[in-house]
Chains A and B, each alone.
Chain A
Amino acid sequence: MTVRIPTARGAGLVACTRCGRVHEPQTPRCTRCGSALQSRDTRSLQRVWAWWAAGLIAYIPANIYPMLLTSALGSSTQSTILGGVVELWAHGDLPIAIIVFVASVVIPVGKFLAIAFLALKLRGPHKPDRHGRHRLYEVVEFIGRWSMIDVFVVAILASLVQFSLVATVNPGLAAICFALSVAFTMQAALSFDPRIIWDD
């Protein structure tokens, strides 16, 4: 786009990121919705990286420890996130295997890469393709919460399959690690100040 679009910062003003109301600089809080005002969130990147790292640390045990502990007639099996996908695949439930794989592997890994890419790009000297990066930010912010699917699957299975001695399903340690990882990366995406993408 060649047209120069005026910005609140360019006009010497500060805008509310919650309600869009524009204020004189140095106004501490939005007079309409009461949110804290900042022309640019200068500590945004620090918080993004902190949540990102926490999310990544939690994602490792989430893949190592079992997600589900199934015991049926004395024999017990454990399945990890990937193990669960493979099981579904082997059963022939292809669409469901794909949903779980996308929600538990593709989205989290893609999110780690996308947030790191967005945060690193902000430091670079020249910033091409703002529209593309803004689009990526919107996708990451929208899609992150959908990773919780597998946590809910475990919750439903564990509450439903309780036939005392015959068959029981219990949650494994990975469930808590995975839920934390999703929550942390959601916070990372929410901490990002997309206005910086557009600054010169």
Chain B
Amino acid sequence: MMQTEPEDLAALPLTQLRACPHCDALYRLPTVRPRERAVCQRCGLVLMAPRARAFTRIVALSACALILLAVALFTPFLDLSAAGLHSDASIWDAAMAFSDGIMVPLSIAVAAFIIVIPALRLALIVYTVFPLIGGGAPAPHAARAFRIADDLRPWSMAEIFVIGVAVALVKIAGMASVTPGIAFWTFGVLVIVLIWQESFVDREQIWSALDAARPDRGQAPA
């Protein structure tokens, strides 16, 4: 928990203050060690949760997730056979299921939610965080890159797709036998890696690294 002494806050320089993004409660920037958490006293939002060697781990797990996504994309996902007939689908096929006529926009949206946005977020996070390892200067436009990654977070739906797969399997189970392919397992692992990677992303840690390393500190970032 953060401690607040209201009378002291006004005397502090602005760089030493932080406000809760959800409820606007004002705090003195605390020292939070790895594995500790700073939680908003009022609304309970986790404000800071730094992790040791977070940047290295974020880059490693993001790279791993990108590779898994590439593998999952083009290997067989599910294989269906019924009464001597045979059909299979890759994740790409699933995304393209709506690819005729009026359904095309939906096809694009599904491809975005399960492939393009997760991949783009991973790439942007690697671009932002990789130069920061060891206290390096941020890449050009890193603040913008991390902002986009942040905005896209609700629209990355790989984990929801996995639940959708489970439901679809049950629906099909009655009429045909389904064999999971390589991509099925790869995608499952991908979701676990994504959740793991997310656990190392502390936004205060990344924003302060982007800020402190700026040579023209105080200027508006690109």
Question: Interface residues, chain A, CB within 8 Å of chain B?
Answer: 1, 4-11, 13, 15-24, 29, 31-35, 88, 91, 93, 96, 99-100, 131, 134, 138, 144-146, 148-163, 166-167, 171, 173, 175-176, 179, 183, 186, 190, 194-195, 197-198
Contacts and interface: CB of A to CB of B under 8 A. Distances in A.
Interface stretch (B51-59, B99-107, B129-137): B99-107
Contacts of A160: 78, 80, 87-89, 93-94, 168, 172, 178
5 contacts: A19-B207, A156-B168, A160-B88, A163-B82, A195-B22
B200 interface: no
B110 A152 contact: yes
Given A161-B80, A195-B22, A155 B218 contact: no
Interface string B85-120: 101110001111110001101100110011000000
B94 to A, nearest CB: 5
Contact of A161 (B18, B21, B87): B87
Lowest 9 CB-CB distances: which A-B pairs, in order? Answer: A152-B164, A15-B19, A158-B97, A8-B19, A156-B168, A159-B97, A159-B93, A19-B207, A22-B17
Most buried by A among B6, B26, B175, B204: B26
Contact of A11 (B9, B166, B211): B9
Interface residues of B, number: 75
Given A7-B19, A161-B87, 8 more contacts: A8-B17, A22-B26, A32-B211, A134-B23, A152-B94, A159-B94, A161-B172, A163-B85
Interface in B67-87: 78, 80, 82-83, 85, 87
Nearest to B113: A148
A34 B26 contact: no
B150 to A, nearest CB: 7
A8 B24 contact: yes
B151 to A, nearest CB: 9
Nearest to A14: B19
Contact of B165 (A34, A91, A152, A166): A152
